[in-house]
Structure 1
């Protein structure tokens, strides 16, 4: 197990020590889970249990160890975060508090979040949807359809107002 593998999210979470601790434990548990050595199973049970107790029970961050997550994951606050273990999350993704990424019909009917996506607080993404690279999903949005790369999604209607100089008193 390499230190670089454990700290691949560290710099992306500079200034967020809670996120750094959660993600180091997450990466350690992932590495131990994938290791075939005889000592890895007992170590995984110890680290995985510690991760689960700290992240889920204490901090309210439900990010299962078996979830496929790219490097540079950014957690902002994290409280109330729920991710289905079958979801796939790319590199450099930002997850804020209250985010739910889950299935819709079947256990494996889960989203794919591509690289560089930012999810606002209380975003819900459910079902077999793909969120394209560098998309931005605004706070409170509920996403049940694919989102193209570099798109912005927000929960409310678009309101177009005339420029300040065009307004009548």
Structure 2
């Protein structure tokens, strides 16, 4: 039971300096995910939770992070507003997402949809960023505000611009 509650509130501490809105969004996201993992008869309550989550978080608060999105622990949301994340996106541990950001797939030349981004650990994403397609953002990368990212970003790289270009490569201390 303790682990269940701990999982739901895992992002609460790292979002201490952000708004209560950010904390509530993440708490409801984790709760809805946890309820969806329950065995069948108990999982019926997840339908109610999903509906409430969708109405409250997506429609009223303007943040679209589908409950089935794979997101690691300690996600930070800064100024959670106009944030759209495709449900096929994968986001690693200890990442930061800022407002007015879109992360998702795109239409390919043949009219089909591409895959969605895979974002590594310790990635910081600025405001007004667009990340599209079946690409990988490496660990410890920084995506500058207003960037449009449609190609892979290597670990420890700072990118910015439209289209995003490498601004700096950082040394990554991985500590032992």
Q: TM-score band (shorter)?
A: 0.7 to 0.9
Q: Where does structure 1 lack aligned partners over 5 or more consecutive residues? A: 160-169
Q: Is the 8 A contact 1:86 1:108 kept in 2?
A: no
Instruction: Look up the match of 2:155.
Output: 149
1:134 is the counterpart of 2:140: yes
1:30-49 equivalent positions in 2, closer than 5 A: 30-41=33-44, 43-49=45-51
Q: Which deviates more, 104-113 or 124-133?
A: 104-113
Match of 2:63 among 42, 53, 61: 61
Q: Alignment partner of 2:131: what SS?
A: strand
TM-aligned CA deviation for residue 107 of structure 1: 4.2
TM-aligned CA deviation for residue 53 of structure 1: 1.4
TM-aligned CA deviation for residue 39 of structure 1: 2.0
Which stretches of structure 1, 4 residues or longer, exceed 2 Å deviation after superposition? 105-108, 156-159
Q: Where does structure 2 lack aligned partners over 5 or more consecutive residues? A: 168-176
When the two chains are superposed, the root-mean-square deviation of aligned CA atoms in Å is 1.8
Greater Cα radius of gyration, structure 1 or 2: 1
The separation in 1 between residues aligned to 2:79 and 2:56, in whole angstroms, is: 14
- Give the number of aligned pairs: 158
The separation in 2 between residues aligned to 1:11 and 1:158, in whole angstroms, is: 32
The separation in 2 between residues aligned to 1:3 and 1:144, in whole angstroms, is: 37
Give the TM-score normalised by structure 1.
Answer: 0.88
Give the TM-score normalised by structure 2.
Answer: 0.84
Instruction: Look up the match of 1:164.
Output: none
Instruction: Look up the match of 2:116.
Output: 110
Instruction: Look up the match of 1:165.
Output: none
1:124 is the counterpart of 2:136: no
**CA 6–76 in structure 1, closer or farther in 2 if over 3 Å, else same:** same
